[in-house]
Amino acid sequence: MAAQSNLKNMVMVLGLTCLLCSAVLGGAYALTKDPIDAASKAKMDKAIGAVLPAFDETAPEAVEVDGKTYNYYKALKGGETVGYAVESTVVGFGGPLSLMVGVTPDGVVYNTSVLSHSETPGLGAKCNTDARFMAQWEGFNPAEKILTVKKDGGDVDAITASTITSRAYALAVKNAVDAVKSIGGPVHE
């Protein structure tokens, strides 16, 4: 069935296949680049929208706290700052845990959203689905409550059987709040 092998046709067929396939992929890459960028931007925008009050525009900026750089989006409405959406990554139970934390200019957490995580399915992964755990971040005021889990003497309700994930989540929120403080916004404390 298959053709006889000799050096010439082997090199030719293999070379031609590689060339053709790379060309196809190059084309496909060029065509899908915009949708891919749009999809990742849409994901970011959705996360920002979920953690901040209504706004007109956002501006990406960065701030350094204790040698760690935080990317954040300053949200403006009618020229006035309504909040900051801070990307905050910490070490969870299974690996990096990355959050988008919305903080209003008075230093109160508006809401949080998980960007990516590698926590155990059904346990730590609930930080993304458990309604009770997620609801407590809405309007969490670090000036009145302590941003650590109850086991450590704080005010954060941990996810059942996932103290380490909950602890990491609280730390990520705390880091974000600290980052907003050092942005120099009018934080009342």
Partner 1 sequence: MEYFLIIISAIFVNNIVLAQFLGICPYLGVSNKLSTATGMSMAVCFVITLATLVTYLINKYLLVPFQLEFLQTIAFILVIAALVQMVEIVLKKVSPSLYQALGIFLPLITTNCAVLGVAITVVTKEFTFGLPSHMLNLGEALVYAFATSLGYGLAMVIFAGIREHLAMNDVPKAFKGVPIALVSVGILALAFMGFSGMVK
Partner 2 sequence: MSKNFRLITDGLVKNNPTFVLLLGMCPTLATTTSAVNGLSMGLATLFVLVLSNVVISLIAPVVPDKVHIPVYIVVIATFVTLLQLLMQAFTPGMYETLGLFIPLIVVNCIVLGRAEAFASKNGALASACDGLGVGLGFTLALTVLGLVREILGSGSAFGWNFIGGRDGMLAFVMAPGAFICLGYLMVLFNKFLKKD
Binding positions for partner 2, rule: CB under 8 A:
1-6, 9-10, 13-14, 17-18, 21, 24-25, 28-29, 32, 35-36, 39-40, 43, 116, 120-123, 131, 160
Distances (CA, A) of 69 to 27, 95, 100, 183: 36, 19, 14, 12
- The 10 Å CB-count burial string (b at 16+, else e) for 142-164 is beeeebbbeeeebbbebbeebbb
Choosing among partner 2, partner 1, none, which partner's interface includes residue 35 (Cβ < 5 to 8 Å by kind)?
partner 2
Minimum CB separation of residue 69 from partner 1 in Å reads: 11
Token digits of residue 41: 């931007």
Nearer of residues 52 and 168 to partner 1, judged by Cβ: 168
Q: Which is nearer to partner 1, 65 or 146 (CB)?
A: 65
Per CB under 8 A, residues contacting partner 1 are 21-22, 25, 29, 68, 89, 91-96, 120, 164
What type of residue sits at position 12? M
* Residue 70: its H or E element: strand 68-77
Q: How far is the CB of 159 from partner 1 (least distance, A)?
A: 14
Q: Which residue has the tokens 């920002």?
A: 48
Q: Nearer to partner 2 by C-beta: 43 or 151? A: 43
At 42, give phi and psi (nearest 5°).
Answer: -60, -40
69 binds, among partner 1, partner 2, none (CB under 5 to 8 A by kind): none
